[in-house]
Amino acid sequence: MTTIDKNKPVMITGATGYVAGWIVKKLLDEGLTVHAPVRDPKNKSKTKYLDELAASAPGKIVYFAADLLTPGSYDAAMEGCELVFHTASPFINKVRDPQKDLVDPALKGTQNVLASVNSTQSVKRVVLTSSCAAIIGDNKDILGYDNQKATEKNWNETSTLTHNPYSYSKTVAEKEAWKIAEGQSRWDLVVINPALVIGPGINPNATSESFTIVKQLGDGSARMGAPNLEIGMVDVRDLAEAHYAAGFTPEAQGRHIIQAGSHTFLSLGLMLREKYANAYPFPKRTLPKFLVWLMAPTVGITRKFVSNSLGYQWKVDNSKGIHGLNLTYRPVKTSIVDMFEQMIQNGTFKK
């Protein structure tokens, strides 16, 4: 049981990111003081969205300079905090060097942030943003799980540096976090494992791969059809509530799968078509698996990914978060439409 004093500041890594934006909003709305270590606090194009939130909320935000790859750089921001949210980690699919671009910031970042936690006596709880990617590598993996459904007890055992490297980065980082947490007894670790996150961004230009994926539904990339890939999804606003509950629910413990429902990209296209009719080239059909397999290298995915993930269902048990963190989820249709609408307003789809 860990009780967090809301009068103390709360630290969050990666505040400029897509997922963290809504967590920062929730913390500010609840009147908390947010310590936000970011790579470049002077870069107003990254922090202006958070400043706007703070201007109309009872809480306040204080920036610090820190980098996941710089040991000790989170010390100053963490001072006096009882609660630390560690969200920062690159979520990008197209990388040149998976070790340098994904694994190093995920793993060394976790080591560095948690080393600062170990040396900051005020910290009582760390909430880590991991991913369903640390639970499921390829969709096919789920067939080998109990009842052919993923739960918090499952770990991704199939991703490597060359096969689904983002998922690998999340798996090694979360494992390391548990190892470090188990080496001490002053603070507890609560892990959030979100499925694919969708919904409007506080910073609509954040680097998250979520934007790239949803953009492809409307920019003509899926005009000929969508791959038969089913994946779990959750709204970024509901995910912020999950993080908040993980931070402030005294009895919260362990991992939590966070998702509203599972859908294919074709079904997302159909949801968008119900709202926007034929105004955008949403996918209308599923592409045959053999065709996607053939084209895979030209569109930046591997044939192994196609073989092991397309055409397999994504089944998870999300009940722990619903009961333990008291979560409710928006329908996926609301999330996808709200996100797409934000993209239209931003001029993402030039006519």
Interacting residues with ligand NAP (CB under 6 A): 14, 16-19, 38-39, 46, 67-69, 87-91, 105, 129, 131, 170, 194, 196-197, 206-208, 210
Nearer to ligand NAP, 68 or 287 (CB): 68
Q: Which residue is nearest to ligand NAP (CB)?
A: 17
Could you tell me the maximum CA-CA distance found in the chain, to the nearest angstrom?
57
Interatomic CA distance for residues 170 and 131, integer angstroms: 7
Residue 6 identity (one-letter amino acid):
K
Nearer to ligand NAP, 103 or 296 (CB): 103
Nearer to ligand NAP, 35 or 170 (CB): 170
Nearer to ligand NAP, 67 or 338 (CB): 67
CA angle 102, 342, 28 (to 5 degrees): 70
Bridge partners for 123 per DSSP: none
Distance of closest approach, residue 131 Cβ to ligand NAP, in angstroms: 4
Distance of closest approach, residue 277 Cβ to ligand NAP, in angstroms: 27
Nearer to ligand NAP, 192 or 296 (CB): 192
CA angle 246, 29, 207 (to 5 degrees): 70
Nearer to ligand NAP, 239 or 293 (CB): 239
Sign of the torsion formed by the C-alpha atoms of 329, 331, 334 and 339: positive
Nearer to ligand NAP, 79 or 209 (CB): 209
Distance of closest approach, residue 205 Cβ to ligand NAP, in angstroms: 9
Q: Which residue has the tokens 């709200």?
A: 338
Distance of closest approach, residue 210 Cβ to ligand NAP, in angstroms: 4
Q: Which residue has the tokens 């592409």?
A: 287
Residue of 347, 344, 349, 335 lying closest to 18 (CA atoms): 335
Distance of closest approach, residue 118 Cβ to ligand NAP, in angstroms: 19
Side by side, the strands of the sheet bearing 230-235 are 196-198, 230-235, 261-264
Distance of closest approach, residue 298 Cβ to ligand NAP, in angstroms: 24
Q: What torsion, rounded to 10 degrees, do the Cα atoms 299, 301, 304, 305 define?
A: -120
Q: What secondary structure does DSSP assign to 237-258, as a single string?
A: HHHHHHHHHHHH-TT--EEEEE
CB 270 within 8 A of CB 225: no
Distance of closest approach, residue 4 Cβ to ligand NAP, in angstroms: 21
Two tokens, residue 109: 């970042």
